[in-house]
Structure 1
Amino acid sequence: MASKQTPAVRAAEAAGIRFRLVEYDYEPDAESVGLQAAAAMGIPPGQVFKTLVCLLDGAELVCAAIPSDARLSLKALAAAAGAKRAEMADPAKAERSTGFVVGGISPFGQKRRLRCFLDASAAGQDEIVVNGGRRGLQIALAPADLVAALAAVVCPLQAE
């Protein structure tokens, strides 16, 4: 198996937070990486947060972490970020900016650190799981530790 020392894992270690790594067999043909990861790890989908890279007002890239079984409200993200509009970023642009491949984008250890927005549903959980910087590797941690380490904004991000 590939190394567990990804930039995301190194960034989480450098932040001094408590976390554990969880590995699973990544299925490249899965319809939803987050849902496949949750099923493979035996974790409820609402506890596994996918990292989506979005573009605000055509200029700023940000990341939004939402439950794997939820849809992102671009309107809610724009409002939380103080922008007029938000759209999904081009996958190639997201990969260049973060240094991770789609399906392995983590809120931690990005090449160019993006502002992070965490869905409010994380606040009611003892532990959430986010990508560890490569496909098949996840970081399990307390939501408060993610917020502290990344100065993440906690806000409602799910589409109705």
Structure 2
Amino acid sequence: MPREKIAKTNAARLLDRQGVPYALHRVEVDERDLSALTVAARLGVDPAQVFKTLVARADRAGVIMACIPACAELDPRALASACGSRHAELVPLAEVRPLTGYVRGGCSPLAGKKAYPVFLDESALLWERIFLSAGLRGVQLELAPRDVAAACGAVFVKLTRE
């Protein structure tokens, strides 16, 4: 049976322009469960290898993005510290699309409406390749963590709670 062709997203086109190697994967989407844990299960990979992109606002840095493993919880203090702020909190869901151009379950640190500072949890470096949203629900990019960082200027830092 021929493999279904996956349409390129803006994030994939950005990687193409930068000459970054990646693979696109499609997973079934259930609008009632858009969690990264479900995406990891559908991909058949360790949840620690799938990174969700969270949009936050910091008191000094403004809007920022944090990419953390599907199985982890963001430490807002660590994120604030990473961007030189005292306080950071997730933006309300209603603000995600106007700020990034992406919807919940399809938010990518790559090729958004505006290039915000991106912080990638340092655990990504434990993997040869990680998965993150390609900017569309149900479509995931698989690529090397350092390539993600190079493509969007991400900084590696510990962002999760123990």
1:13 aligns with 2:13: no
Does the aligned pair in 1 maintain the 2:109–2:118 contact within 8 Å?
Answer: yes
Deviations along 1:73-122, one digit per CA (max 9) or x if unpaired, are: 00000001101100001222221111111110001110111110000100
Aligned residue identity for 1:151: G
* Equivalent position SS for 2:63: strand
Q: Which residue of 1 aligns with 2:46?
A: 44
1:29 aligns with 2:32: yes
Q: Which residue of 2 aligns with 1:53?
A: 55
Does the aligned pair in 1 maintain the 2:6–2:24 contact within 8 Å?
Answer: no
- Distance (whole Å) between structure 2 residues aligned to residue 58 and residue 98 of structure 1: 19
- Distance (whole Å) between structure 1 residues aligned to residue 10 and residue 94 of structure 2: 19
Aligned residue identity for 1:8: A
The percent identity for this pair of structures is 38
Match of 2:98 among 96, 99, 112: 96
Structure 2, gaps ≥5 residues long: none
Aligned residue identity for 2:82: A
- Distance (whole Å) between structure 2 residues aligned to residue 127 and residue 42 of structure 1: 14
Q: TM-score, normalised by structure 2?
A: 0.93
- How far residue 153 of structure 1 moved from its aligned partner, in angstroms, is 0.6
Q: Which residue of 2 aligns with 1:139?
A: 141
Instruction: Map 1:102-121 onto structure 2 (within 5 A).
Output: 102-121=104-123
Q: How many residues of Structure 1 are paired with residues of Structure 2 in the alignment?
A: 159
| Superposition RMSD in Å | 1.6
Aligned residue identity for 1:95: R
